[in-house]
Amino acid sequence: MIQPHGSTTLNPLYVDDAAQRARLLKEAETLPSLLLNSAAAANAVMLGAGYFNPLTGYQNRADALSIAKDLKTAAGLFWPIPILNLSTANNIQPGRFALRDPNVEGHPVIAIQDVQAVEQFSDDELRYLAQEIFGTLDAKHPGVQTFLGLGKTVLSGPIQVLNFSYFPDEFPETFRTAVQLREEIRQRGWKKVVAFQTRNPMHRAHEELCRMAQERLQADGIVIHMLLGKLKDGDIPAPVRDDCIRTMVEHYFPKNTVLISGYGFDMMYAGPREAVLHAVFRQNMGADYLIVGRDHAGVGDYYGPFDAQTIFDTRVPAGALAIEIFRADNTAYSKKLDRVVMMREAPDHTPDDFIALSGTKVRQMLGQGIAPPPEFSRPEVAKVLMDYYQSLGR
């Protein structure tokens, strides 16, 4: 199986030993508390789950600025987006803290951090980070808006993760750590694995894209790996997406070719940079390839349609990652060929030869109880989405 990023073995920061975890939770009662923001809590979950291997905790100011400039830490580790614990407080001193979860009622302790340094970003540095990470300073960009509101105080240092927030309770069949996914891939006997990232339900084009990648790469299996954390307003909730994907796989994929799972992270909408982060943590969970398609991890028109592919050519040094990407073009149903194709592979087609629907048009149809054509969406999946959209109007 592919090695994790930056180390020969995976080093998750979750305290797996129950007795040690109980001791730490008891100690946490005596420690000063810090209530995290949702982004820092999601980072804790990803660190605990092994997805952010080989990091040992939250990064410091020097690392953040180095990553923004050169996609590597101050010590030279390739890394695409800073993993930070930012706070709006300005009176914190270094020490040992109980980190509390903002996303669970009662704010239970999610981790303990040894805060080794307390530093401040200047306004200029914060804007520089946002510009480099997101490629824009537009306050309407949901990632920029969130990031610039997290605070300027940088709390860096190692953490011990004590739970995975709300994800195991809300998504017991779907949430999996990188450790668990590696073990399941091993148990299934898969030698070559393709990962598909999604924050949306999967329509016919997504389904066929997974099938194309598996066939062309001669992969044993596909991990459909969905984001379970916070999204922008208007995105479809994770339980609905989960239902859609499970319905599609049950009806249209052979047994033991697809592993459905999810990870606990808040969407950043950082386009190319986030695509590279997606590759890093898919390598950590055991995937040999990541499908990167049109506007991967993007939002609006902030990024070019294939910027998330070209960054792997222009900003990722040779050998920095072991995982490879499968480059996908726009996909659509060809009326000529009676199947979904990559549009670049059908040079004899005109736009009228494809069935193309805008997201807005599809949402309108679903809200009115009208199923999109079967060439666009499987009827079983459309039924799940129609029920959801119609429930919004009740």
Cα of first residue to Cα of last residue in the chain, in angstroms, is 49
Contact 81, 277 (CB under 8 A): yes
For residue 200, indicate whether it is catalytic: yes
For residue 199, indicate whether it is catalytic: yes
Q: Which of 127, 199, 211, 363 is catalytic?
A: 199
Segment holding 111, helix H or strand E = strand 109-115
Contact 305, 294 (CB under 8 A): yes
Give the number of other Cβ atoms within 10 Å of residue 156's Cβ: 23
C-alpha to C-alpha distance for 343 and 334, rounded to whole angstroms: 9
Q: Are strands 289-292 and 324-327 parallel, antiparallel or unpaired?
A: parallel
HSE of 246, CA atoms in CB hemisphere, 13 A: 12
| Three-state secondary-structure class, residue 258 | strand
Q: Which of 11, 96, 188, 200 is catalytic?
A: 200
Alpha helices, H only, 152-203: 167-170, 178-188
Active site amino acids: 199-200
